[in-house]
A and B are shown apart, each in its own frame.
Chain A
Amino acid sequence: MSVALESRAPVRPAPAPPRRRQARVNRPNALYLLPALVFFGLFAAFPLVLVLYLSFTDWNGIGTPGFVGVDNWVRMFENEAIWDVTSTTLLLTGLCWVTQTPLSILLGVWAAGAQRNRAVLSALFFLPLLLSTAAIALLYNRLFDPYVGIGRGFEPLRNILGTTSGALTAIVIVVGWQFIPFHTLLYQAAARNIPKVLYDAAYIDGAGGWHQFWYITLPQLKNTIITSSTIMIVGSLTYFETIFLLTNGGPAASTRTLPLEMYFRSFRSYEFGYASTIASVLVIVATAISLLIVRFSGFGKMRSTLEGL
């Protein structure tokens, strides 16, 4: 009860007129948008339009692109290999989300505690965030070498990069090792923002640790879960360096994803037109997925998890 009284107290002296004036002063002018708009137009929208144009041309990277209509698109949809590549990409995206999200939530909530040992361990755990992706991928590539790596003495890891399922697993492990700390950081911050009153109330009602986590923490993290998932999923769709350096799309093209296929088509085969078609598909798929997430999660309504408090 005392909590409720305290929180009501500061509301009283706030008069209406100054608040309105404040709102008018703070609303940004349309001009504020200009720098962002110029950057976005120059480095995102304009190249996007160019890629879309190139997808209707036959271009080897040199000279003038020749217009070929929908040839590249027809060729792509008739090519069986592209379906393999697409399903590999989606499978990898799914696996990354399924492994990273629960681990990040658990670690994040754990790290949100005020205990000293947690702070020290979290600081250590966030170290991979400081390393470059290329360095991590190369490091693990050597680590998984069957003759000089850790697999030398540990049979399940020995030939991990040499089998289809093993190579996929290796990518999920390495990507997880690198990115779980980032998402943990998001969840840690979000978990610290959950008002303590909720837990106090639940405790009085007799809820144990598990019930508090399930009925308070998780629902309160809803918006963070959506943010983190969107970053994770769209990021997974476009992973390049990790796979390129860790497995090179192998063994035998079994871990080749859409971004790798795009790279191979452009810089190995010099088919920039066809590669642009793949790039366009990637943009469409990634945009569609993030729109779906926003639509079906209710994120677009911007409803606060603190309503009614």
Chain B
Amino acid sequence: MVSQRLPRRSFLGLLGAGVGASVLGTSACGTDATSSGGGGGTFQVWVLQEEAQNVAHEGAVDRFNKNSDAKARIVASPNDGYTDKLHVSMGSSSKPDVFYNWGGGSIRTYARDNLLVDLTPYFEKDTAWKDSFLPSVLDAGQIDGKYYGVPARGMQPIILFFNKKVFNDHGVQPPRTWTDLMAAVDRFTSNGIIPFALAGGDAWTELVWPEYLVDRIGGAEVFNRIAAGKKDAWRDPAISTSIDMIRQLVDRGGFGDSYASVRWDGAGASNLIAQGQAAMHLMGSWEYTNQVNDQPEYAKNDQGFIPFPIVEGGVGDPKAIVGNPTNYFSVSKDSAHVEHAIEFLKQEMSSDAYVDQWLKAGDVPAVSGLESRMDNAADPAFAKVVYDMVNQAPTFQLSWDQAIERAQAQPMLDALAKVFLGQMDAAGFVKANEDAA
């Protein structure tokens, strides 16, 4: 919008690029606009561009297309910018028919604007289909009490990863309680080891801490009240206690002193623990897959994983977990192929072939009765831990930044980053969140 102040050549260059892009855009939309109506045609399935994992999606589409007159077509986009692209197209007339999402905040706007197919009646009609998914994961995809997403890939609880070799070298046992954890922190810092790797340049990596602490201290209800927008919900003592504990952990050197410079994308935090410079990493199950790919030696010999410790005196269930329950596929209401799209999801999302492909890629899909198929997993031991963790969890809290209203997520992350930098205390954190609400 300030392009008129650019030097002329780049201004004209921008114009040229703009024209080119819009021409491309129009022609790209044209192909599928003509396919509406009738029994044939194609419908688009939007997914992320991840080589190892697209195998499962491609397989599902191939199997479905064999027996269907309407053909599914994969449209893969890079992770960066996927949500921006999705949002722009959801506001236009060229929406995707089926699209990959994170549930919660990533589709709430679309659900409320009546752009998505409410899947509740389909699940009610076909209870066998509904029962083929783990209930806690299916329910985490609800918006305002209705289902809008079908679980599409692996479950991603936050797990406490630890480097077995570092623990052995320093004679420390994996922490089962908060007291253990703080003792381990002191032990590691005095030996020059960073207790927890943290990619603090991205605030979402810090969010896992209050998510678990609040759950352990006050139970799942505390955050449910916040997510529901209840008055004074942020003032629950569990919130300020958690923030105080985080500040204490930071002050004691729990994350070293340069965590704020480490970005997630450079895999800096994952390298720290793999190379033994850090002892632990509180991260989603995708950390396991990353280590298998990037540091296979470490992943094979030294990568340990346990649930988040209990907090003494807390009322939360120690089996409760937080994280990203899974990714979902949702269907656009505007699609010319709603029935075909749902048929596709019904046939494939819990099919043995689809599940096995995910297991092979290191993911553990949110499908019930998976115990018998564990042998197909890349690492059966890890797959079993994740599966049991989710299967036994009374609640699976969706990441806070996805669970609360979008406009409040960024202020919450900003405030938390300040807490981790020692610039904000518990009262300030509560106030910042109340101001944003």
Residues of A whose CB lies within 8 Å of any CB of B are 39-40, 43-44, 47-48, 51, 60-63, 141-142, 144-148, 151, 158-163, 230-231, 234-235, 237-238, 247-248, 250-253, 264, 267-271, 279, 282-283, 286-287, 290
Alpha-carbon separation in the docked complex, A163 to B423 (Å): 11
Residues of A within 8 A of B271 (CB): 147-148
Residues of B whose CB lies within 8 Å of any CB of A are 1-7, 12, 14-15, 18, 83-84, 87-88, 90-91, 109-110, 113, 115, 200-203, 257-263, 266, 268, 271-272, 277, 406-407, 409-410, 414, 417-418, 420-421, 423
Alpha-carbon separation in the docked complex, A39 to B18 (Å): 11
Q: Are A44 and B1 in contact (CB under 8 A)?
A: yes
Q: Are B414 and A252 in contact (CB under 8 A)?
A: yes
Given A61-B91, A268-B409, answer yes or no on A146-B258 (Cβ-Cβ < 8 Å): yes
Q: Are A147 and B259 in contact (CB under 8 A)?
A: no
A153 CB to closest chain B CB (Å) equals 13
Partner of A231, one of B7, B84, B87, B257: B7
**5 nearest A-B residue pairs (beta carbon):** A162-B260, A146-B258, A252-B417, A162-B261, A161-B261
Q: Are B414 and A253 in contact (CB under 8 A)?
A: yes
Q: Are A62 and B90 in contact (CB under 8 A)?
A: yes
Q: Are B2 and A283 in contact (CB under 8 A)?
A: yes
Q: Are A267 and B83 in contact (CB under 8 A)?
A: yes
New contact pairs (13) apart from A161-B261, A162-B258, A248-B201, CB-CB < 8 Å:
A40-B4, A43-B14, A61-B91, A145-B263, A147-B258, A147-B277, A159-B261, A162-B201, A251-B201, A253-B418, A268-B409, A271-B407, A279-B1
Alpha-carbon separation in the docked complex, A279 to B12 (Å): 21
Q: Are A252 and B258 in contact (CB under 8 A)?
A: no
Q: Are A48 and B277 in contact (CB under 8 A)?
A: no
Q: Are A269 and B261 in contact (CB under 8 A)?
A: no
Q: Are A160 and B201 in contact (CB under 8 A)?
A: no
Q: Are B260 and A251 in contact (CB under 8 A)?
A: yes
Q: What would be 15 A-B contacts, judged by CB atoms less than 8 Å apart?
A: A43-B14, A43-B15, A43-B18, A51-B1, A141-B263, A146-B262, A146-B268, A147-B262, A147-B268, A160-B261, A234-B5, A248-B263, A264-B410, A268-B409, A271-B407
B19 CB to closest chain A CB (Å) equals 9
Q: Are A44 and B3 in contact (CB under 8 A)?
A: yes
Majority SS of interface residues in chain A? Answer: helix
Instruction: Name the residue of chain B whose CB is nearest to the CB of A233.
Output: B5
Q: Are A267 and B268 in contact (CB under 8 A)?
A: no
Partner of A234, one of B2, B12, B421: B2
Given A48-B1, A253-B414, answer yes or no on A270-B258 (Cβ-Cβ < 8 Å): no
Instruction: Name the residue of chain A whose CB is nearest to the CB of B260.
Output: A162
Q: Are B410 and A145 in contact (CB under 8 A)?
A: no
Instruction: Name the residue of chain B whose CB is nearest to the CB of A231.
Output: B7
Residues of B within 8 A of A271 (CB): 407
Residues of A within 8 A of B88 (CB): 61
Q: Are B4 and A269 in contact (CB under 8 A)?
A: no
A158 CB to closest chain B CB (Å) equals 6
Residues of B within 8 A of A250 (CB): 201, 203, 260, 417
Q: Are A270 and B109 in contact (CB under 8 A)?
A: yes
Residues of B within 8 A of A151 (CB): 258, 261
Alpha-carbon separation in the docked complex, A43 to B20 (Å): 13
Partner of B268, one of A62, A145, A163: A145
Residues of B within 8 A of A162 (CB): 200-201, 258-261
Q: Are B410 and A270 in contact (CB under 8 A)?
A: no
Instruction: Name the residue of chain B whose CB is nearest to the CB of A162.
Output: B260
Alpha-carbon separation in the docked complex, A148 to B261 (Å): 11
A26 CB to closest chain B CB (Å) equals 20
Alpha-carbon separation in the docked complex, A30 to B83 (Å): 45
B149 CB to closest chain A CB (Å) equals 18
Partner of B2, one of A40, A238, A253: A238
Residues of B within 8 A of A159 (CB): 257-258, 260-261
Residues of A within 8 A of B277 (CB): 147
Alpha-carbon separation in the docked complex, A158 to B87 (Å): 38
Q: Are B1 and A63 in contact (CB under 8 A)?
A: no
Residues of B within 8 A of A146 (CB): 258, 261-262, 268
Given A141-B266, A161-B260, A238-B2, answer yes or no on A269-B91 (Cβ-Cβ < 8 Å): no
Q: Are B262 and A145 in contact (CB under 8 A)?
A: yes
Given A147-B262, A251-B421, answer yes or no on A63-B2 (Cβ-Cβ < 8 Å): no
Q: Are B414 and A62 in contact (CB under 8 A)?
A: no
Partner of B261, one of A43, A48, A145, A286: A145
Q: Are A62 and B109 in contact (CB under 8 A)?
A: yes
Central interface residue in A51, A142, A268, by most chain B CB within 10 Å: A268
Q: Are B272 and A147 in contact (CB under 8 A)?
A: yes
Alpha-carbon separation in the docked complex, A144 to B260 (Å): 12
Given A269-B407, A269-B410, A270-B406, answer yes or no on A252-B423 (Cβ-Cβ < 8 Å): yes
A178 CB to closest chain B CB (Å) equals 14
Central interface residue in A51, A144, A145, by most chain B CB within 10 Å: A145
Residues of A within 8 A of B406 (CB): 268-270
Given A144-B261, A159-B260, A283-B2, answer yes or no on A39-B15 (Cβ-Cβ < 8 Å): yes
